Structure 1
Amino acid sequence: MQLIIGDYNYSSWSMRGWLAARASGLPFETVQIPLREADTADHIGRYSPSGRVPCLIDGEGEGRIAIWDSLAIAEYLAELNPALWPADARARAVARAVSAEMHSGFTALRTHMSMNIRKDYAGHGRTPEVLAEIARIDALWQDCRQRFGMQAPVAGPWLFGAWSIADIMYAPVCMRFATYAVGEDALSPLACRYLGEVLTHPHVQEWRVAASAETHLIAAYDSYG
């Protein structure tokens, strides 16, 4: 398989696709295309029918398929490795719901706290709309941890006990919270502990190291200088 991604530093959707691929345990090659360059669209267009990243390519010739949406990529990989979703049907349904909420929502957070791993934007971006979305994320994390993640027999540090697609969907949110210093002043103790766990997950650390090593800049994404 090949996974087509954008910048490690800026591309939150690429991060989700990459984390899902890493969590699947399946072999894949990463193809990185810097975003917002004159030839970016041409390069991405060779792989992705939508012209966007991430895009997962599997197979060759007539059997080749392209999957050009991060949640669809995660679902496809879960078909190959079902452990990417919780085993319990009720927990799995809630995990899909919270993943879909992230996939389609939190537009204020995305607008005012764009992912920029290399920056320190402490104090920026806290509009009333963003604070309301942070409160919703806090409530969601608490609910998942208390109802599923902390309960036997699957108790563990993640939303549903074991690392899953639900955690992967919120990992770029944790990147934003690190950049914009969203912590104890805005999150409950339970959510703060979960945030710390995500930030130190080995796969998340791999992504952060790659982002720190990049030199490509996108001025439009450097919202606060």
Structure 2
Amino acid sequence: MLKLILGNKAYSSWSMRGWLALKTSGLEFEELVVPLYDGGWDERREGDEFAPSSGKVPLLWHDDLVVWDSLAIIEYCADLTRRELFWPEDLGARAMARSMAAEMHSSFAALRRECPMNVRRDVPTPNLSRETIADINRILVLWAQARARHGSGGPFLFGAWSAADIMYAPVVTRFLTYSIPVPPFARQYMSDVLRHPHVAEWIDAAQDEPWVIEQYEGGQGTA
């Protein structure tokens, strides 16, 4: 039995990545959404179920085996199923996709801080720092390079849906939420990601959540 523990779908970009990985795998799984930072959060994250990740989400239990961190969950799902569901078959494309996924995993702190994920918001473009603008420009360059070099086989970064798209899907929602201006090719890519059935399902589910985290409503945070 696979059980995925998630944070709020409205706010938790890392949870979204882990959930998209499970959906991409096609494996059946139970999901448990845990509201972040509510009155019971501190007590809940100290329980045995959260111990392996030190209280962080997402967290995947597979019987007695546990995997935490979104990128590790992607790799575990690839091991359980077929790696071509997650990574391009071409060696050069696969190397680039892995590099882009890793950069998303470790970088773009300014964008995370100034434009926290909130798929229920739609606001005018805020005044962004030079650091955040640099993050946005770097992401757009990566998207352009992937599409130009390896995207001819479909609408996503490497043609077919892949782990790279999973890692950048929450960036797509951020760009939409904060009305970030992007070139036409990026608008088309964002539209295709948002139409992906798994992404659409996640966003739809987030609209019905009862929880509100004020720090993410005001534009501050790193969800």
Q: TM-score when scaled to structure 2?
A: 0.92
Of 117, 120, 143 in structure 2, the residue corresponding to residue 118 of structure 1 is 120
Counterpart Cα distance in 2 of 1:47 and 1:162: 35
Alignment of 1:140-179 (within 5 A): 140-150=142-152, 155-179=153-177
Counterpart Cα distance in 2 of 1:110 and 1:121: 16
Aligned residues of 2:115 and 2:219 also touching (Cα < 8 A):
no
Q: CA RMSD in A?
A: 1.4
Counterpart Cα distance in 1 of 2:74 and 2:41: 24
Higher relative contact order, structure no. (Cα contacts within 8 Å, ≥ 6 residues apart): 2
Counterpart Cα distance in 2 of 1:10 and 1:111: 13
Of 104, 107, 110 in structure 1, the residue corresponding to residue 106 of structure 2 is 104
Alignment of 1:76-225 (within 5 A): 76-81=76-81, 82=83, 83-150=85-152, 155-182=153-180, 186-224=181-219
Deviation at 1:117, TM superposition (A): 1.0
Q: Percent identity, aligned pairs only? A: 49
Counterpart Cα distance in 1 of 2:165 and 2:127: 23
Q: Which is further off, 40-49 or 80-89?
A: 40-49
Q: Which amino acid aligns with 1:142?
A: A
Deviation at 1:42, TM superposition (A): 3.2
Deviation at 1:23, TM superposition (A): 0.5
Deviation at 1:144, TM superposition (A): 0.4
Q: Check if 1:31 corresponds to 2:35.
A: no
Q: Which amino acid aligns with 1:173?
A: V
Deviation at 1:47, TM superposition (A): 2.0
Deviations 1:97-146 (A, max 9, x none): 00000000000100000001111222125222111111111110010011
Unaligned runs of 5+ in 1: none
Q: Which amino acid aligns with 1:11?
A: S
Counterpart Cα distance in 1 of 2:127 and 2:206: 21
How many residues are paired up? 214
Aligned residues of 1:10 and 1:221 also touching (Cα < 8 A):
yes
User: Which residue does the alignment assign to 1:73?
Assistant: 73
Q: TM-score when scaled to structure 1?
A: 0.91
Unaligned runs of 5+ in 2: none
Q: Which amino acid aligns with 1:33?
A: V
User: Which residue does the alignment assign to 1:58?
Assistant: 62
